Chain A
Amino acid sequence: MSVINEISEALQKGKRKDVARLVQQAIDEGMDAATILKDGLLAGMNIIGEKFKNDEVFVPEVLVAARAMNAGTALLKPLLSGDAAEPLGKACIGTVKGDMHDIGKNLVRMMIEGKGIEIIDLGVDVDPQEFVKCAIENDCSIICCSALLTTTMPMLGEVVKAAEEAGIRDKVTIMVGGAPVNQAFADSIKADIYTEDAASAADAAAAVFAN
């Protein structure tokens, strides 16, 4: 098995130390960093994403795979140059003000990273203005916000309003999600995209940058 395939396999098993070792081995063997990233790490993460969508793997497997991917990308970042160093695009993500839940948000973040998108994690209990400030300062094209409580759902609408008031509404795609959220609610607050799971969110984010 080639070292690239070994990287992908180790990532899929969540073996972060093995991924780090194999990525270093590939670097030492003179492999192009962009190839290691694309064909080893992102390819492995894409397989995990598809398996997650098909209920072949579950949340813990995605989390450990994503962490293994991060162990590999940390080694590659200093070596990537030019276009290869550029992410597909930039996004920010957080759970809205008043809401402390983060599993779903963490999962979405990891899967969006798996698509080669740079994503800034604002954490939980995030003010609408903080989302907007981050998007402006970091030139993010996507704002992802989640709410797990019925009482914090309205804050998703406040993020949309904050983007309008800051004059960046037409420059950002606002994605929303979370257990109590649905398409009808997303439409009512004029969010751009609603997805009901992390894998779909990652696909939708990638599609934003593909268009």
Chain B
Amino acid sequence: MTMNMKQWVADVIASDKKKALPVLSFPSIQKMGITVAELINSSDKQAEGMKIIADSCPTAASVSLMDLSLEAEAFGSTIRVSDDEVPTVIGSIVSTEEEADALKVPEIGAGRTQIYIDAIEKACKLITDRPVLAGVIGPFSLAGRLLDVSEALMYCYDEPDMVHTVLQKATEFLINYCNEYKKVGANGIVMAEPLAGLLSPALAQEFSADYVKQIVDAVQDDNFIVVYHNCGNTAVKTIDTIVTNGCLMYHFGNAINMAEMMSHVPENLVAMGNVDPAGEFRNGTAESVYNRTKEVMSECCKYKNFVISSGCDIPPMSPWDNINAFFKAVEDFYA
């Protein structure tokens, strides 16, 4: 469903009663009686899962899987899959300048990327009452998975040129990938850039924000927005750097104080967060999720540009009683 997303963002800010926008997709496996492994390998199941969530949860937008192994796998990384956890990248495929130079930018469709593109195309036909946003990894987080995340953080100091080579190729791929989602009807993407959340402001500007901006400049338009996700603990300190990337919506994790973050976010940009996905949604109780949600809303809803959300993607196997308690808290807050 094509819609003017810049207007949608403005409407969200203007609205007095805002719908929640949690990163909610993996727990659909419980409703469908399948495993994570089955979900990540089926476009039908992914679309069905997004539809089930849209029909049962009053979300502001529908968000697909935050699977941070997908793009690295397309480049050739090895991933480890389990039945009830999000897949993980193992090892690295680039450790020298020569390997960085030789790294090929994969075609769109490589690995499981075609499954995910097909899933969004199917979901867009099923979900027509709200925007549909595809999950994509951010450039530094992708580069980190190709280089090994610990090594990548040190390479920023030791081998910056090598990191930039990998970042350029990651960015080229991500621009093509995002444009493919645009072609099949997505209203935007949620770009997860958690690794940048470990960087200082200077490194975050050089190795993340500048590349995120390239992607935003290439793909964002009136009908397609980029939502930026950074659940790292440096997000408040790096917010001035972060907002240079041109995104219209930002999503933050529970490692930061959301009220403090809101005092730094420009009023024309939406900022979302940050009920703890592991500590509350997965391991908490319905009561603790309800209370924490209301607490965050009490602290942050005075900011017109705040939208309540989870702090990161809600893990598979998170009890639906907890998820429902989150939405009940939102409903009761506005009652």
Which residues of A are at the interface with B, using a C-beta cutoff of 8 A?
Answer: 14, 55, 57-61, 63-64, 67, 98, 100-103, 106, 149-153, 179-180, 182, 185
Contacts and interface: CB of A to CB of B under 8 A. Distances in A.
Q: Top 3 nearest A-B pairs by Cβ distance?
A: A180-B278, A60-B153, A59-B198
A60 B200 contact: yes
Contacts of B200: 57-58, 60-61
30 contacts: A55-B234, A55-B237, A58-B198, A58-B200, A58-B203, A58-B234, A60-B153, A60-B154, A60-B156, A60-B157, A60-B200, A61-B200, A63-B154, A64-B154, A64-B158, A98-B82, A100-B80, A103-B149, A103-B150, A103-B153, A103-B198, A150-B85, A150-B278, A150-B282, A150-B315, A150-B317, A151-B317, A180-B278, A180-B282, A180-B283
B67 to A, nearest CB: 14
Interface residues of B, number: 25
Interface string B151-179: 00110111000000000000000000000
B198 A100 contact: no
Interface string B81-93: 0101100101000
B329 interface: no
Given A60-B154, A150-B317, 4 more contacts: A55-B237, A100-B88, A149-B85, A185-B283
A106 to B, nearest CB: 5
A102 B92 CA distance: 13
Contacts of B283: 150, 153, 180, 185
Interface-central residue, A106, A150, A180, A182, by most chain B CB under 10 Å: A150
B90 to A, nearest CB: 6
B330 to A, nearest CB: 23
B266 interface: no
Contact of B157 (A55, A64, A102, A153): A64
B279 interface: yes
Contacts of B198: 58-60, 103
B90 A100 contact: yes
Contact of B150 (A61, A63, A151, A179): A63
Contacts of A55: 234, 237
A86 to B, nearest CB: 29
Nearest to A100: B88
A21 B150 CA distance: 25
